[in-house]
Amino acid sequence: MKSSVIIFPGSNCDRDMDVALKKFGFNNQMIWHNDLELPKSDLIVLPGGFAYGDYLRCGSIAAKSKIIKSVISFANSGGLVVGICNGFQILIEASLLPGALLRNKYLEFICKNVFIKINNSENKYFKNIKKNILKLHIAHNEGNYFCSADELKSIEDNNQIAVNYCNKNGDISEEINPNGSIDNIAGIFNKNKNILGMMPHPERMIDSCLSGGDGSLFFENLLKNLK
Amino acid sequence: MKVNEKIAIEHGLKKEEFDKINKLLKRLPNITELGIFSAMWNEHCSYKSSRLHLKKMHTKGKRVIQGPGENAGVIDIDDEDAIVFKIESHNHPSFIEPYQGAATGVGGIMRDVFTMGARPIANINSIHFGSPQHKKTKNLLRGVVHGIGGYGNCIGVPTIAGQTCFDESYNGNILVNAMTLGLVNKNKIFYSKAAGIGKPVIYVGSKTGRDGIHGASMASAIFDEKIEEKKPTVQVGDPFTEKLLLEACLELMSDKSIISIQDMGAAGLTSSSVEMASKGKLGIELNLNKVPCREEKMTPYEIMLSESQERMLIVLENGKEEKAKKIFDKWNLDFAIIGKTTDSKKIEIFYDEKKVVDIPINFLAENAPIYDRKWKKTKLPQKIKFNVDDVKKLKITEVLKKILANPNISDKEWVWQQYDHTVMGDTIQKPGGDSGVVRVHGTNKAVATSVDSSAMYCCAHPLTGGKQIVCENWRNLISVGAKPIAITNCLNFGNPEKEINMGEFVECVQGIAEASKYLDYPVVSGNVSFYNETKDKGIKPTPSIGGVGLIKNYKKMVTMDLKEVNNLVIVVGKTEGHLDQSIFARNILSEKNGPPPEINLFNEKNNGETILKLIEEGLIESAHDVSLGGIITALTKMCIRGKKGIKLNKLKTLINKFQYFFAEDQGRYIIEINKNNIKKVKEILNNNSVHYDELAIVIEKDIIIDKEPILTIDELMIANKKWLKEYMVQ
């Protein structure tokens, strides 16, 4: 399986993602933001970081970069595109996903382990995944998912919520919501479920010595579903 | 503008120093030259008060590739790998403008590391604030933490360890010491020494603005109520540009185009160009019209003294200019050829085709003043006789809860949760343990790092205090299973022109030197920050020591959380009951006098090496060094981390139980051992003549101490965790 990770100036989880994809058997290549065309890929990844410094709204400049047109047409033709953290922000700014990511509720950067519950597993990302509750890591300043009531209804009606923050038993409550996201939303799909954006970093949890290995399940499963 | 003595003094020079400049030049300097002299001769760049004493440091060792004197120190960690590391202060700017001050402190130290060709792999920091009750403390803490996070998180280098301390002596002078570790191939290290004549001098990175002009002089000044006026001298950080600069520099370093490279830190273009030329025994010629400027009509004076961030100066091989420019263009960074190396041994600067500076390099470097300042020895204070009746009234459990909630002991999760500590995917021990640990990417090795200070001990007796910090730092590395290799130090002191402050400096340095020599734990880099003084009130002497250790097989790393019920817990090292200067004495008994705990370097080394042996043999389940708050505090922290309880054995000791539990005797560790290994462990301890006490057994969730009321882990966890969180939201 071929994957491509886009590097924007200021991306800083690009290497981590490259390491993770290769570890689980993807044939990965790194693509520079100024390129116009994507190589033939089964999966496109927008990694975490601070693309273009995020001095404007997070992800907004990256969403206008040269490569993004190709990403949009790849996604619109049904190709799998996943954005993690800053990548999620970019997907939203590029209007590939609905809603907005605001500053965290307590106005502080948060770096910690969280549990997420998979809400919809009828898709290439989570189908047949071994666990329904994953322990992953978040590290962000703007992960507070927000959308209008109408949008939320549409997201729910179309079963677009991918993952929610929960406790280790899978209970979803405001108490364990790390950043103030509506309905504890940690990640969402587009209507077709080929585009996934989420704040937690599976690439940081691919080894039991890195505070857990649940990220491995994500990659292993994705690869299996792609084959 | 004609230069005179008044202007020179306004630049922070002393009258005698100004006279010396005139004598060396055999003429009056012009204003730009005066600016250059004042920047090069101030304490921050010249080390004029400290240099004589720093020579005493132990700086050599089998694994030392580069000791003090470069952008950072370099140590060998086997194979082709080396670690580049250094700690640096950014105290003064952080007090004036906490966010930018702290952020640019982190940015500056990372540049020092990647200048040498290393990719930064870990950041750590030591931050000291005034009393929590002081009106400025909360905002300073918040600003500094946001600043450290804002910069490090954006660059994508994990912040894996640190310490946050409070003491009223920092009310008017906070300390922000930032340290970075980088990984480099040991055959591809870059140095700042220029070589060759007629080589192009290249400016890369951000444009030069008017920010930070005279930052280095500000850092060597004493604060007064007008300090807010100095805000414009604080530099503004741009981590995004630094990230680009990092990637561009590492890309250029992948071949042999660079002869020498130096980041523009304190005193900007001035110190970087002078240092490169000075080390290479060359001259340098610069044309300031070529320097990329952010603002119009900047004068030569402003260009030479600007401390705009994220800039580098490079001496390239001839003919490599085009290729280098392409790389910097790709990363959208400025690239300008601004001069060349010469054989004149002078710094010659041109602006609008006029020569505006003409100074022999050695006037600025070797001829900079050196002072053998007067200093006063600190006598070892008398030991305090504690009143046994006072102590008897207390309950250990109550005291313990108070100590766990003490600002200097309490959990600092609020701080480190704001730092990205897992980016780069190699963090195997997060903040909150004895050391932070990262794997050496793609290998089985890991490096551990910890930063420590003990201002109370250093203040009570600087010589002992100096030794103690080195030992404590060494213990923190040992506790995770790392072999300590070398240290970097950040020496934060008051006004060196005062005998008492100078004495604190001299004796702390002596203590550090003695301990590091005995432990074969050399100093490879560091910096000195004097004049941490506001309105005549200086800080407690606060050297901070950053240590780096190697774990050959990261799977053998040890953590401090208790692992399993029924395991035995042992204290390694002898408990004599030294309460003077302990948290218990100072905060519970309000006794602030007395000597710090004594340091026995022989025991320190022997105990530490024996613990490493036990870890190497896989005989230790968890380990934690005993420091502030004594045995019981250390033990409860292990309980909290492991969510396990403990039942203490009946004490078999002659000293009273408060002394046993709260004494801060040095050289001690608490280790958890599986019952099956106990015989082997005792054998190794006995064979190495290491003293140990059997302390406790791990149980489910209670803390059972003698006949004291039973405590639960949850109670203790709340006591330990709530102080800082509540303080910050109040």
pLDDT in tens, B103-140: 999 999 999 999 999 999 999 999 999 999 999 999 99
Give the gap in angstroms from C-alpha B461 to the nearest C-alpha of chain A: 39
pLDDT tens-digit series, residues B487-540: 999 999 999 999 999 999 999 999 999 999 999 999 999 999 999 998 888 999
> What pLDDT is recorded for position B229?
60
For residue A26, the distance in angstroms to the closest alpha carbon of chain B comes to 18
| DSSP assignment string, B531-578 | --EETTEEPPPEEEEEEEEEESSGGG---SS---TT-EEEEES-----
What pLDDT is attached to residue B17? 95
Measured between beta carbons, the chain B residues lying within 8 angstroms of A48 are 423
> Are residues B425 and A110, on separate chains, in Cβ contact within 8 Å?
no
Mean pLDDT for chain B overall: 94
pLDDT above 90 as % of chain B = 88
Shortest alpha-carbon distance between residue A137 and chain B (Å): 8
Which tens digit of pLDDT belongs to each residue from B372-394? Answer: 999 999 999 999 988 877 788 89
CA B148 to chain CA mean position, Å: 13
What CA–CA distance (Å, rounded) separates B541 from B464? 12
Under the banding of pLDDT at 50, 70 and 90, the label for residue B232 is: low
Inter-chain touch B153–A109, beta carbons under 8 Å: yes
**pLDDT confidence of residue B233:** 65
DSSP β-bridge partners for residue B355: B350
List, as one string, the DSSP characters of B457-487: HHHH-HHHHHHHHHHHHHHHHHTTTPEEEEE
| Model confidence pLDDT, tens digit, residues B316-335 | 999 999 999 999 999 999 99
* Dihedral sign from CA coordinates of B209, B211, B213, B217: negative
For every residue of A97-131, DSSP letters joined together read: S-SEEE--TTSS-EEEEEEEEES--SSTTTTT-S-
**How far apart are the C-alpha atoms of B267 and A130, rounded to whole Å?**
58
User: CA–CA separation, B644 vs B561, rounded Å?
Assistant: 8
Task: Give the separation between CA B288 and CA B198, rounded to whole angstroms.
Answer: 17
Inter-chain contact A111–B555, Cβ cutoff 8 Å?
Answer: no
Q: Where are the alpha helices (DSSP H) in B47-130?
A: 51-54, 91-96, 98-114
Instruction: Spell out which residues of chain A touch residue B243, defining contact as CB-CB under 8 Å.
Output: 9-10, 12, 50
Contacts of B244 in chain A (CB under 8 A): 9-10
The DSSP output letter for B588 is I
- pTM score, two decimals? 0.95
A211 and B422 within 8 Å at the Cβ level: the answer is: yes
State both tokens at B42: 């101030």
For residue B131, what are its two tokens?
Answer: 């009393």
Mutate which: A5, A11, A12, A89, vs B, most B CBs within 10 A: A12
Q: Searching chain A, which residue's CA lies closest to the CA of residue B416?
A: A111
Nearest CA-CA distance, residue B554 and chain A, Å: 9
Beta partners for residue B336, in sequence order: B203
- CA angle, B54 then B59 then B61, to 5°: 170
Q: Which residue of A has its CA nearest to B331?
A: A9
In this structure, the number of other CB atoms found within 10 A of the CB of residue B501 comes to 24
What is the percent of chain B where pLDDT is above 70? 97
Side-chain-facing half-sphere of A29: CA atoms under 13 Å = 10
Residues of chain B contacting residue A12, judged by C-beta atoms under 8 Å apart = 154-156, 243, 423
**Is residue B93 scored above 70 in pLDDT?**
yes
CA separation for the pair B186, B568 (Å, rounded): 43
Q: Is the pLDDT of residue B226 over 90?
A: no
Is the pLDDT at B467 greater than 70? The verdict is: yes
Residue B212 is given by DSSP the state T
Which chain B residue's Cα is nearest to A110? B418
A-chain residue closest to B422, CA distance: A204
- Please tell me the predicted confidence (pLDDT) of residue B234: 73
pLDDT at B228 over 80: no
Higher pLDDT, B2 or B474: B474
A201 is catalytic: yes
Instruction: Quickly count: other Cβ atoms within 10 Å of residue A198's Cβ.
Output: 27
Cβ pair B462, B508 in contact under 8 A: yes
d(CA B603, CA B597): 14
| pLDDT for residue A23 | 96
Residue-level pLDDT at B702: 93
Closest CB from A12, A19, A111 relative to B421: A111
Rounded to 10 deg, the angle between the B31-41 and B15-25 helix axes is: 120
Q: Report the gap between the CA of A54 and the closest CA in chain B (Å).
A: 8
Nearest Cα residue to B415 out of B638, B141, B229: B141
CB of B384 within 8 A of CB of B322?
A: no
Residues in Cβ contact with B190 at an 8 Å cutoff, skipping those fewer than 6 apart: B115, B116, B117, B253, B258, B260, B261
- Compute the average pLDDT of residues B614-640: 97
Say which residues have a Cβ less than 8 Å from residue B10's Cβ, sequence separation at least 6.
none
Q: Do A201 and B154 touch (CB under 8 A)?
A: no
| Residue-wise DSSP of A124-159 | TTTTT-S-SEEEEEEEESS-EEE--HHHHHHHHHTT
Give the closest residue to B338 by CA, choosing from B240, B517, B479, B204. Answer: B204
Whether the pLDDT of residue B44 is over 70: the answer is yes
Under an 8 Å CB criterion, which residues of B touch A?
146, 149-150, 153-156, 238-241, 243-244, 331-332, 416-428, 430, 439, 554-555
Report the b/e string of A133-160 with b at 16+ CB within 10 A: bbbbbbbbbbbbbebeeeebeebeebeb
- In chain A, the residue whose alpha carbon lies closest to the alpha carbon of B154 is A50
- Cβ neighbors of A47 (< 8 A, separation 6 or more) are A5, A6, A7, A11, A12, A13, A14, A16, A17, A84, A85, A86, A87, A203
Mean pLDDT for the stretch of residues B50-63: 96
Cβ separation of A204 and B239 shorter than 8 Å? Answer: no
Using a CB-CB cut-off of 8 Å, the residues of chain A touching B430 are: 211
| Contact across the interface for B154 and A137, Cβ inside 8 Å | no
CB contacts < 8 A (A, B): 85
Quick one: which of B711, B448, B464, B422 has its CA closest to B597? B464
Around B587, how many Cα atoms within 13 Å sit in the side-chain half-sphere?
A: 21
Q: Are A188 and A155 in contact (CB under 8 A)?
A: yes
Which of A85, A111, A141 would you mutate first to test chain B, the one with the most B CBs within 10 A?
Answer: A111
Q: For residue B317, which phi and psi values (nearest 5 degrees)?
A: -70, 145
In angstroms, the separation between the Cα of residue A20 and the nearest Cα of chain B is 9
For chain A, report the end-to-end CA distance as a whole number of angstroms. 7
Is B421 in Cβ contact with A12 (below 8 Å)?
A: no
Closest among B670, B677, B664 to B692, alpha carbons compared: B670
Nearest CA to B119 out of B110, B127, B128 is that of: B110
Residues B148/B151/B152/B154 CA torsion (nearest 10 deg):
140
In chain B, what is the straight-line distance between the N-terminal and C-terminal CA atoms, in Å? 53
Annotated catalytic residues of B are: 44, 90
Cβ contact, residue pair B425, A19, below 8 Å: yes
CA distance B318 to B213: 32
Mean pLDDT of B308-315: 94
Interface test with A, best of B160, B415, B419, B420 (most A CBs within 10 A): B420
**Beta carbons of B575 and B653 less than 8 angstroms apart:** yes
Mutation target to probe the B interface, by most B beta carbons within 10 A, among A33, A104, A209 is A209
Cα(B230)–Cα(A103) distance, rounded to whole angstroms?
A: 31
Rounded Cα distance between B618 and B409, Å, is 30
Q: DSSP class of residue A64? A: G
| CA gap B443, B227 in Å, rounded | 49
Residues of A in CB contact (< 8 Å) with B are 9-10, 12-13, 15-16, 19-20, 48-50, 52-55, 108-112, 137, 139, 141, 201, 203-204, 206-207, 209-211
Three-class DSSP labels, B655-718:
CCHHHHHHCCCCCCEEEEECHHHHHHHHHHHHHCCCCEEEEEEEECCEEECCCCCCEEHHHHHH
What is the rounded average pLDDT of the residues A134-157?
Answer: 97
Residue of B nearest to A109 (CA): B418
Active site residue A203: yes
| Set of chain A residues whose Cβ sits within 8 Å of the Cβ of B150 | 109
State the Cα–Cα distance between residues B265 and B269, nearest whole angstrom: 8
Let me know: does B429 contact B557? Beta carbons within 8 Å.
yes
Whether residue B241 and residue A53 make contact (CB cut-off 8 A), yes or no, is: yes
Rounded Cα–Cα distance for residues B398 and B384 (Å): 23
Q: Which helix or strand (DSSP H or E) is residue B221 part of? A: none
Residue type, B336: A
Span B554-562, average pLDDT:
97
Find how far residue B341's CA is from the centre of its chain.
34
What is the ipTM metric for this complex?
Answer: 0.96
Model confidence band, residue B465 (pLDDT cutoffs 50, 70, 90): very high
**How does pLDDT run across B185-223, given as a tens digit for each residue?**
999 999 999 999 999 999 999 999 988 776 655 555 666
Burial of B274: CB neighbours in 10 Å, binned 0-12, 13-18, 19+: buried
